[in-house]
């Protein structure tokens, strides 16, 4: 079955564009960088966060391809934990000319709606802006960008805009509807 898919691309062009969200009240939320490149952990986060919203573009990747992604210089994964449990993540990728893309961002379904997303996005965007500090030889960040689509959560676009991201491109296309893969077959059946 064919569906209409809208993809929005958003950007910040200065660190002063970032409008941080407050940390969630009353929660024990910590955000840490996954400093040991792990294909297994990356795939776990990808499927746990994106399984119910049809993330499938990486599901066919081999272990070697996953490992290459997480080991790429300038790539970082930042994970939000609530009381020691992974709640969501952000994957950053340094690109040419001081550009950093937020490649993936999201929360595991059980952690959505608890004010963790705005805090995680704020923290990760700040890390995108200071990414060159952790990667000697990298150009200072001049632009942070991301994309979201009509399959993402209902609050995704508003969260990006509240954090100071501005729309710079919109694409509408017909796409084949895919099954919801879940973190394992049948998870959302």
Yes or no: say if 145 and 102 are a contact pair by the CB < 8 Å rule. Answer: yes
pTM summary value: 0.93
**Residue 178 pLDDT exceeds 80:** no
Domains defined along the chain, listed by start: 2-176 (3.40.630.30)
Angle between helices 63-71 and 39-50 (to 10 degrees): 100
pLDDT in tens, 90-130: 999 999 999 999 999 999 999 998 999 999 999 999 999 99
Q: In whole angstroms, give the CA distance from residue 97 to residue 143.
A: 9
Phi/psi at 137 (5° precision) = 90, -10
Residue from 72, 98, 87, 102 nearest 164 by CA? 102
CA-based end-to-end distance of the chain: 18
pLDDT digits (tens, 9 = 90+) for 30-67: 999 999 999 999 999 999 999 888 888 898 899 999 99
- pLDDT at residue 108, as a whole number: 95
pLDDT of residue 184: 63
């Amino acid at each position: 079955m064919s569906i209409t898919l809208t993809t929005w691309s958003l950007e910040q062009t200065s660190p002063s564009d970032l409008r941080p969200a407050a940390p969630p009240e009353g929660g024990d939320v910590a955000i840490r960088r996954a400093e040991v490149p792990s294909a297994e952990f990356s795939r776990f986060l990808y499927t746990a966060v994106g399984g119910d919203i049809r993330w499938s573009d990486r599901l066919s990747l081999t272990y070697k391809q996953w490992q290459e992604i997480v080991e790429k210089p300038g790539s970082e994964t930042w994970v939000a934990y609530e009381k020691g449990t992974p709640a969501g993540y952000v994957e950053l990728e340094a690109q040419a000319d001081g550009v950093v893309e937020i490649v993936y961002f999201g929360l595991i379904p059980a952690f959505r709606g608890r004010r963790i997303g705005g805090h995680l996005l704020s923290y990760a965007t700040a890390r995108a802006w200071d990414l060159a500090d952790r990667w000697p030889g990298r150009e200072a960040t001049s632009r942070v960008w991301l994309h979201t689509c009509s399959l993402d959560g209902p609050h995704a676009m508003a969260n990006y805009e509240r954090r100071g991201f501005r729309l710079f491109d919109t694409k509408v296309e017909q796409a084949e509807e895919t099954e919801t893969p879940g973190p394992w077959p049948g998870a959302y059946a």
